[in-house]
Amino acid sequence: MAWMTFLTLIWILPALIISPLMDLPARHRLIGRPFCIACVWSARLILGLRWNVIYEGELPARPSIIMAKHQSSWETFMLPALLPPQVQVIKKELTRIPIFGWYLAMMGPITIDRTQRTTALKDLVKQGTQRLNNGVHVLIFPEGSRVPAGARKAFSKGGSMLASRVKAPVIPVAHNAGDFWPNHHWIRYPGTITVVIGAPLDSKDLPTKFLHQQCEEWINNRVDEISATPFQGTVITELTSGKRF
C-alpha cells in the first residue's frame, strides 16, 4: 500500500504536469499503460500475484467493447496493460479523488452516474461511440461494481447496447482475481490469476438482448470453470460494492 502510494506519487504527479502537452493516445501509451504495467508487476513482486493469460480467439483489428468480470482492483490495472489502447467506464465519483482521480480523468474515461440509470446509458452510448470512432477500445464492467468470488450480479445492458449500435465486436473477459484479492478484506493471497480473453462476439445484426445473454453466460460460465470458488448461489443486488475505489 505504501509502495502503491509512492508509485502513484512519483508517476502521476509529473504526468499530471506534462499531460496537457500530449494527446489522448500519447497519454495512454506513455503514461497510463506503463503505470498499469508497473502496478501489476508491483503486485507480482510484492504480493506474489502472478498471472496466466489465455487467448481463446483472435483479437479483432478494430476498436471493440471489452466486457469483463469485476472482482477486484487488480483487473482495472491488468486489462489496460493487456488490451491497449482503451478507456474505462467509471463512476463519476472516482474522478474526484485527489491525485489518482485526476489521473483517471486525464485518461479520458467514460464517466457515468450510476444512480441515474437512463442518463448513464445515454452517456455510455454517446461517449462510447465517440471513443470507438477514435480507435480506442472501451472497457466495461457490466456488473457495475466489484462482486466477490463465487457470487454473481446481473449484467447491465449498456455494453451490449453500445456494441450493437456501433456494430463493434465484444471481447468477453473472465478471470478469478477475486480468489486472491478479496474485495472485503485487506489480505491478498499469492498465486496465479487466470485471465481468459474470449473469442470476440459479433454484434452484427444480433438483437441487443441476445448479445447481452451470450456475453453474460460466457463470462459467468468461464469464471466458474477457472475459479477456486465457483458460483455459490449468491446474487448481489446492491448498486455499489461499498468501496470507494
Residues that bind other proteins (CB under 8 A): 117-118, 121-122, 157, 161, 164-165, 205, 207-210
| Least distance CB 208 / other proteins (angstroms) | 5
Residue 190 vs 207, nearer CB to other proteins: 207
| Least distance CB 206 / other proteins (angstroms) | 8
Q: How many CA atoms lie within 13 A of 3 on its CB side?
A: 10
Cα 241 to Cα 196: distance, rounded to the nearest angstrom: 24
**Per-residue burial over 60-71, b = 16 or more CB atoms within 10 Å of its CB, e = otherwise:** eeebbbbbbbbb
Residue 96 vs 122, nearer CB to other proteins: 122
Residue 92 host element (H or E) = none
Residue 92 vs 157, nearer CB to other proteins: 157
| Least distance CB 158 / other proteins (angstroms) | 8
| Least distance CB 113 / other proteins (angstroms) | 14
Cα 176 to Cα 165: distance, rounded to the nearest angstrom: 30
**Per-residue burial over 189-209, b = 16 or more CB atoms within 10 Å of its CB, e = otherwise:** eebebbbbbbebbebeebebe
Residue 117 vs 243, nearer CB to other proteins: 117
